[in-house]
Amino acid sequence: MKTGIGRLIGSGLVVFLLLLGVASAADQITIRFWGGWTGPDKFGMEKIVSNFMEENPDVKVEFFTAPWTEVFTKFSTTFGTPAGPDLLAMHVSDIAQFASRGMLMRVEEIAKQNNLLAEDFPPMVWQGQFYENKQYGIPLDYHPLAVYKNVAMFRSVGVDPGVAFDSRETFLDVLQKLTQPEKQQYALAIGINHPHTMRYWYGWLFQQEGGQFLNEEQNRAAFNSEQGVAALQFIYDLLYTYKVAPLHESDIDKDFLTGRVAMVIEGPWWIPGVREQENLEVLLAPFPKVFDKPAVWAGSHTLTLPKQANQQRIAAAVKLLSYVVNHSVEWGNAGQIPASLRVIQSEAYKSLPDYKHFKVFIDQADYIHFEPLIVQNASFGSDNQMSPVLNAIFSVLLGEKSAKEALDQAAEEVNALFME
């Protein structure tokens, strides 16, 4: 008898739990979050998403990540269908492409309602979220460049690894001391096939007084100015006059990790990889100031909401967006600099093992420069291998053209893009 009652209660409990499960599954909403992270940052974001789902059982997040181009192709082909993303990460330089096509929601109100305000982010990073004075993104992080120094190589030639590159003379002096051609060792990695080459030039271009990439109206090339030529000539000289960087270099990262070059200029995303290298002591320094004032190229990941009609999914996506931005310590640990000042000023973030490295990037926040945030940047920006500007720079570094000649031709091609 007792057993019978026990069985009855047990069966009832099972049915109850099953019904509860069905009920809660019915209440749960599934949303899609897409990004283009393929390195250690992928795992960082996966962790944040998993934490979010644990804390918010009413939302199930399908997180998808692949190389950026593939994500955008997928986004474009699914746009307007139920298969598209509800929350989409991109770079600030991509916002114009999608916002101009009416594919993104404006987020001013959403930002206010969720207490994601301008004062909580570095000003330059916040400004990058706007296209034609309308806000389309909430900043997740920003990533300027910095110099990674191989401490042992510095010490071996008697140079203080802590040296600051605050003038052209200091920078050149250190570069020359670190170069030992007889040992096939060079001071700096530049690369002949990497978008970073354009980014170095971009940073140095802006260090000139008045140096700018486009005119004020943002509809005509201005980079073939005296300042632009001087900045590119400087990179050329590093290769051919001072000979402090290897020619025809195709893998700048490996050259640094194998001790062929003493310095590489990379973003914060590179920190987790370096951390795993045994017997490699690395010290970071801000992007070298070789002209009048400090400046550095930067990118920034931003979170956007693709336009759609389903209010429930929008609400869930906003909830996730807000969570990701406010809980980005883990994102910082994955090698990105969180954009939220509340996060980077928190004790949790400051106690991260690599904080001393991250600080070098954080300290550059006031003089970062994004590439032009306009639609045409997709054609001439550093991320497009077909960019006339990138290829002009390569042609100079390959010794095919002079800096002035190459930039003039690129300017002509960029101006033609504005005429289309």
Partner 1 sequence: MKKRINLNVMESPLWFLLPYFFLFSVFKLGPIIANFVVSGYDLDIVGKGSFIGFKNYVTLLKDRLFWVALKNTLYYLSLVGPVNVVGGLFLALLLNQHIKGRTVARTAVFMPYVIMVTVVGVLWRWILESRYGILNYYLGFFGIKPIPWLTSPSTAMIGIFIASVWWTIGYNTVIFLAGLQDVPRELIEASQIDGASPLRRLISVILPCLRPTTFFVVLTTIIYSLQVFGQVYTMTGGGPRYATLTVVQYLYVVGFRLFKLGYSATISAVLFAVILVMSLGVLKFLRQTVD
Nearer to partner 1, 250 or 312 (CB): 250
Strands (E), 151-203: 186-188
CB 232, min distance to partner 1, A: 15
CB 127, min distance to partner 1, A: 25
- Is the alpha carbon torsion for 238, 244, 246, 251 positive or negative? negative
Token couple for 239: 């290769």
CB 28, min distance to partner 1, A: 30
CA 144, chain centre distance (Å) = 8
Q: Counting Cβ atoms within 10 Å, is residue 417 exposed (0-12), middle (13-18) or buried (19+)?
A: middle
CA distance 193 to 328: 32
CB 260, min distance to partner 1, A: 7
Token couple for 93: 């330089």
Parallel, antiparallel, or unpaired: how do β-strands 282-286 and 146-150 relate? antiparallel
The 3 state secondary structure assigned to 114-145 is: CCCCHHHCCHHHHHCCEECCEECCEECEEEEC
Beta partners for residue 131, in sequence order: 134
Nearer to partner 1, 230 or 378 (CB): 378
CB 208 within 8 Å of CB 369: no
Nearer to partner 1, 294 or 381 (CB): 381
Token couple for 9: 């209660």
The contact set with partner 1 (CB under 8 A) reads 69, 72-73, 76-77, 79-80, 97, 101-103, 192-193, 246, 248-251, 254-255, 258, 260, 378-379, 384-386, 391, 394-395, 398, 400
CB 376, min distance to partner 1, A: 9
Nearest to 268 by CA among 342, 368, 188: 368
Nearer to partner 1, 171 or 380 (CB): 380
CB 75 within 8 Å of CB 83: no
Q: Counting Cβ atoms within 10 Å, is residue 169 exposed (0-12), middle (13-18) or buried (19+)?
A: exposed
CA distance 278 to 259: 13
CB 382, min distance to partner 1, A: 13
Nearer to partner 1, 24 or 385 (CB): 385
CB 413, min distance to partner 1, A: 8
CB 167, min distance to partner 1, A: 31
Token couple for 179: 């170069």
